[in-house]
Structure 1
Amino acid sequence: MKKLVFSFVVLFTVLSYSQTPEALFSKANSLYKNGNYSKAIDIYLSIEKQGLQSDELYYNLGNSYYKLNKVAPSIYYYEKALKINPLNEDAISNLAFAKRMTIDVIEELPKTFLQRFSANVILKYTFDTWAIIAVIASFLAVLLFLLYYFSSGSKTKLLFFNTSILAVFIMVISASFAFKNYDIVKNTKTAIIFKDKVDVKNAPTNTSDEVFELHEGTKVQILDELDNWKKIKLADGKIGWTIANNLKEI
């Protein structure tokens, strides 16, 4: 009986002091506003450990690290925010500011038309957004076709028929963009360099030659991995190998 009472007391105490993610998020925001950036980060990270993700959470983490002049973590979390919501203008703006603190100056290779189209159109929205557009367009197509079928006037029928065809076209395009977006995101791994200075090798061994060096905050694409090594590619086309602990995958 005493054990049972003790268990209830412990449970009541835990429930009394536990806080919802919303309450924790609000508390962290208050700490951030008061300049307690480190404590705010601890609470934001505790929310993330609960398996909760959002562009607002990652954006606030990026801001907190930026205030502490921590280049790599700030860029890392801004990138994570944009991975969830590519249209987060605040994250886009602050990411640009954070990148100014990086040492490496990397000029991107000229992009082909298809690469520009993917970046500016297909990846402009998330898979979920394109899928929602496709579903809405499909419902509109069915509705417009029914209106066309049951309408009597020739002009009205022509209007409903043409708009239903347009809705079908939008549905097909949106669905294809959704699957293409999913394929690109799934097969493209990116990471941020977290070490102050990283030696990039021409092979996944410590004795191989150094081909170039990178510094914290630089974004790379992961092409392959072997044991504790990652094969990376820069925006300027340079390729090399680095130890996995030197970077953090977005």
Structure 2
Amino acid sequence: MRLMMKRNFLILVISGIFLLSVFALAITLLTPEVTADTQAVSAANQLYQVGNYEDAQRIYEQLISQGVEDSTVYYNLGNTYFRQGDLGRAVLNFQRASQLNPRDPDIRANLELARTMADVPFTSTAPGPLSTLAEMTSRWLTLNETAILALAIWFLACFLFLSLRLLDGGKVRRILRYGAIVALLILALIGLSLGSRIFTESTQHNGVVVAPVVAVSSEPGEQFATDFSLSSGTEVSLVETRGNWARLAVPGDAIEGWIPLNSVETVAGGLLTRDTLL
């Protein structure tokens, strides 16, 4: 009996080490490897401090073009655009910074300030339970953090169920059983949140108008009638592209129309192209 308990305990220890190792590997794979050059960031920060916003902007954009995904770089880039009066690209880069670090109070504050200064209506994305759940979690967790949390709870649930099979004892088994049930419920909630985030980000393409003012046409082409216009900083949902035109919708408003591709950029990154929404 004692020998069996020792064997079961050893199995649990080995299993725990294995699960922790897999979890550590998953965290490594989900963490971006490209880090910002500290010297370049320092140089850009110094340029910003002395009011040379244009040169600071170029350094930050160069870092991003090299594959750097850093909320601080996007935040600082947004500040350079804000100082230069380009509110559209300020909102855009504060949005990108927020996606990488949604809990940062400075990013939130500057995003709201840029929206206020742009004086354009901001409405949450399309309604629906999946979109609502995705938006709620995106305010506190990045997509990678949500995936890591889901993995952690899954590993914990596996360990608890394995412990139930290997350990004896009425009180211990009851505690493990309740713990496993709670872990499964939390896993279901986080899994639903993760799935809604992936579905929303793959089907809804958010963008920001970066042209000072852009006329919205009823059809793709300059020869068609202009229905209304949008100002720099307006946040939109991108529906489709056709040639050098993009069809957009303004969240919260039952209005759609077409604008030139080069007048809007996607929050996911970069100018909108013909292949962006495919």
Match of 2:217 among 190, 201, 204: 201
> Which of 107, 110, 126 is equivalent to 1:91?
107
Helix, strand or coil: the match of 1:147? helix
Given the alignment, which residue of 124, 147, 152 partners 1:131? 147
Please name the residue that 2:266 is paired with: 249
Q: Residue in 1 aligned with 2:157? A: 141
When residues 82 and 206 of structure 1 are mapped into structure 2, their CA distance, relative to the original with a 3 A threshold, is: same
Cα-to-partner distance string for 1:48-101 (whole Å, 9 max, x where unaligned): 121212111101101121122221111111111122333333211101101122
Q: Distance in 2 between matches of 1:22 and 1:104?
A: 36
User: Counterpart of 1:245 in structure 2: which amino acid?
Assistant: N
Distance 1:41 1:227 in 2: 30
Partner of 1:64: 80
- Say which SS state the counterpart of residue 208 (structure 1) adopts: coil
Alignment of 1:161-240 (within 5 A): 161-235=177-251, 236-240=253-257
Equivalent residue letter for 1:241: W
Q: Which residue matches 1:52? A: 68
- Which amino acid counterpart does residue 246 of structure 2 have in structure 1? K
Counterpart among 170, 173, 185 of residue 157 in structure 1: 173
Change in 2 beyond 3 A, CA 1:108/1:181: closer
Aligned to 1:7: none
Q: Is 98-107 or 131-140 further displaced after alignment?
A: 98-107
Residue ranges of structure 1 left out of the alignment (5+ in a row): 1-19
Residues 122, 177 of structure 1: 8 Å contact kept: no
**1:37 lines up with 2:49 in the alignment:** no
Q: Distance in 2 between matches of 1:186 and 1:107?
A: 20
Percentage of identical aligned residues: 25
SS at match of 1:121: helix
Letter in 2 for 1:136: A
The aligned amino acid for 1:52 is: V
TM-fit CA distance, 1:111: 4.2
Tell which deviates more after alignment, 233-242 or 175-184.
175-184
State whether structure 2 residue 37 is matched by structure 1 residue 25: no
Q: 1:173 to 1:215 in 2, by over 3 A?
A: same
Distance 1:83 1:108, change over 3 A: closer
Task: Provide the secondary structure at the position in 2 that maps to 1:158.
Answer: helix
Q: Distance in 2 between matches of 1:107 and 1:178?
A: 23
Q: Any stretches of 5+ residues in structure 2 without a counterpart?
A: 1-35, 268-278
- Inter-partner Cα distance in structure 2 for 1:53 and 1:108: 25
Which residue does 2:94 correspond to in 1? 78
Q: Is the 8 A contact 1:222 1:230 kept in 2?
A: yes
> Aligned to 2:117, what secondary structure does the other structure show?
coil
Per-residue deviation at 1:172?
3.3
Q: 1:199 deviation in Å?
A: 0.9
TM-score between the two structures when normalised by the length of structure 1:
0.83
Q: 3-state DSSP class of the match of 2:118?
A: coil
Q: Residue 240 of structure 2 aligns to a residue in which SS?
A: strand
The whole-number CA distance in structure 1 between the counterparts of 2:125 and 2:157 is 41
SS at match of 1:101: helix
CA gap of 1:107–1:136, structure 2 versus 1, over 3 A, is closer
Query: Deviation at 1:171?
Result: 2.5
Q: Is the 2:130–2:196 Cα contact (8 Å) retained in structure 1?
A: no
